[in-house]
């Protein structure tokens, strides 16, 4: 009996997004899984055609398919539109932002054995977008932290740790200063941690100290769970530890849908130049394959990508290589095509 193709929403995005999405689609098509891509457009160009950078059919497609992979989308500065990325996460209840940071052989970095997983709360904190002017010369942004969202993200971090054989979860906060909001986040993490005490170690760190420790001793840490803003900043720091934004993948996961995307943005200055590094989006595709239950295919794609990076002959300029986005993808596809066929493990 023929198996059903795996239907996935594909959002090419802005700037370098379309070329990275194309490279990623080609690599995932070579993984042995039969994908049926539903391509939908979001981003700057949609403002002229739809009056919004996030047309409703995009959300409908993701709700229908339950899974999407997305190129970066430019946030127009001061044009009156909220970030498409933040809106997507909130509209679809994608409450957990998972950002693994793992060293890759062949990249020049300070450490060669970093293996961290950042779990960032994705729906509240200062990203709730509640801002107003207080008179003409002062502005106020409101930081929202709730027990429900904090316990939910802590549970996600511990469940991830258990499912992936991780030993420790560290909660990151500034509860010494923001005693109520960050205090509630920390208290919620402690409550959830108590239920996992026999399986996963728990500790907490103040965010500034955490940044210093990650730069000096990243091997001391494993899974980090953070409120939205610290998660955004600390995950870029961790990306820097393993080779930069070009290699940092991410996943936004909710109860009913998941959207996979690189940590980096649309890097407009490189748009259309066949220069951008597709690694981060391809690794986001690897996270998507695992999420869909295709562990073997995920393993194969990741191995092929890591081999090409380690060899260094077909990587992009940011990794010190001579190749373009397309040629980088070609090398990964060639490696996948030469390998053993795999069984789909849905």
Supply the residues annotated as catalytic: 127, 174, 208, 232
Nearest CB to ligand NAD, comparing residues 200 and 308: 308
Strands 249-253 and 96-102: antiparallel
Tell me the C-alpha distance between 26 and 13, whole Å.
Answer: 16
Could you say whether residue 237 binds ligand NAD (CB under 6 A)? no
Could you say whether residue 66 binds ligand NAD (CB under 6 A)? no
Helices (H), the chain: 17-29, 44-50, 56-65, 84-91, 147-163, 181-194, 207-216, 228-241, 279-291, 295-311, 325-338
Options 32, 72, 243, 321; binder of ligand NAD; rule CB under 6 A: 72
- Count of Cβ atoms closer than 10 Å to residue 153 Cβ: 29
Total residues contacting ligand NAD (rule CB under 6 A)?
18
Nearest CB to ligand NAD, comparing residues 46 and 186: 46
Could you say whether residue 74 binds ligand NAD (CB under 6 A)? yes
Could you say whether residue 106 binds ligand NAD (CB under 6 A)? no
Could you say whether residue 75 binds ligand NAD (CB under 6 A)? yes
Closest by CA to 121, choosing from 138, 98, 91, 139, is 98
Options 178, 206, 211, 245; binder of ligand NAD; rule CB under 6 A: 245
Nearest CB to ligand NAD, comparing residues 154 and 259: 259
Supply 252's token pair: 């936004």
Q: Which of residues 11-50 bind ligand NAD (CB under 6 A)?
A: 16
Taking the complex as a whole, the smallest distance from the CB of residue 242 to ligand NAD amounts, in Å, to 14
Options 124, 125, 261, 302; binder of ligand NAD; rule CB under 6 A: 261
Which residue reads 């300070």 in tokens? 110
Could you say whether residue 246 binds ligand NAD (CB under 6 A)? yes
Does residue 151 contact residue 205 with C-beta atoms inside 8 Å? no
30 burial (CB, 10 Å; 0-12 / 13-18 / 19+) is buried
Could you say whether residue 267 binds ligand NAD (CB under 6 A)? yes
Could you say whether residue 277 binds ligand NAD (CB under 6 A)? yes
Taking the complex as a whole, the smallest distance from the CB of residue 321 to ligand NAD amounts, in Å, to 11
Does residue 263 contact residue 280 with C-beta atoms inside 8 Å? yes
Nearest CB to ligand NAD, comparing residues 103 and 315: 315
Does residue 262 contact residue 250 with C-beta atoms inside 8 Å? yes
Does residue 8 contact residue 16 with C-beta atoms inside 8 Å? no
Taking the complex as a whole, the smallest distance from the CB of residue 101 to ligand NAD amounts, in Å, to 15
Could you say whether residue 315 binds ligand NAD (CB under 6 A)? no
Could you say whether residue 182 binds ligand NAD (CB under 6 A)? no
Could you say whether residue 129 binds ligand NAD (CB under 6 A)? no
Closest by CA to 244, choosing from 277, 273, 270, is 277
Taking the complex as a whole, the smallest distance from the CB of residue 158 to ligand NAD amounts, in Å, to 26
Nearest CB to ligand NAD, comparing residues 31 and 277: 277
Phi-psi region of 286 (alpha: psi -120 to 50; beta: other; left: phi over 0): alpha
3-state secondary structure of 250: strand
Residues of this chain that interact with ligand NAD (CB under 6 A) are: 16, 72-75, 85, 245-246, 261, 264-267, 269, 276-277, 280, 318
């Amino acid at each position: 009996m023929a198996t059903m193709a795996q239907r996935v929403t594909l959002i090419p995005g802005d700037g370098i997004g379309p070329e990275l999405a194309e490279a990623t689609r080609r690599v995932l098509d070579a993984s042995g899984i039969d994908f049926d891509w539903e391509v939908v457009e979001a981003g700057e160009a949609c403002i002229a055609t739809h009056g919004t950078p996030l047309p409703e059919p995009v959300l409908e497609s993701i709700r229908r398919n339950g899974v999407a992979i997305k190129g970066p989308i430019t946030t127009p500065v001061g044009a009156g539109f909220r970030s498409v990325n933040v809106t997507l996460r909130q509209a679809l209840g994608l409450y957990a932002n998972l950002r693994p940071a793992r060293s890759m052989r062949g990249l020049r970095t300070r450490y060669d054995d970093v293996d961290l997983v950042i779990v960032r709360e994705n729906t509240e904190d200062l990203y709730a977008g509640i801002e107003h002017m207080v008179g003409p010369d002062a502005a106020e942004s409101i930081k929202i932290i709730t027990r429900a969202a904090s316990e939910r993200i802590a549970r996600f971090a511990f469940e991830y740790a258990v499912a992936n054989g991780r030993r420790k979860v560290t909660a990151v906060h500034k509860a010494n200063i923001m005693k109520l909001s960050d205090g509630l986040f920390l208290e919620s993490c402690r409550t959830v941690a108590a239920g996992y005490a026999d399986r996963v170690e728990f500790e907490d760190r103040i965010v500034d100290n955490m940044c210093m420790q990650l730069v000096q001793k990243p091997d001391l840490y494993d899974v980090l769970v953070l409120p939205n803003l610290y998660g955004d900043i600390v995950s870029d720091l961790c990306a820097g530890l393993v080779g930069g934004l070009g290699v940092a993948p991410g996943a936004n996961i909710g109860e009913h849908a998941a959207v996979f995307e690189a940590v980096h943005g649309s890097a407009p200055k490189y748009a259309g130049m066949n220069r951008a590094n597709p690694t981060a989006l391809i690794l986001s595709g690897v996270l998507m394959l695992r999420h869909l239950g295709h562990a073997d295919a995920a393993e194969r794609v990741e191995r092929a990508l890591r081999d090409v990076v380690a060899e260094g002959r077909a990587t992009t300029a940011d990794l010190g290589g001579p190749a373009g986005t397309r040629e980088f993808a070609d090398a990964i596809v060639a490696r996948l095509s030469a390998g053993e066929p795999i069984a789909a493990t849905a």
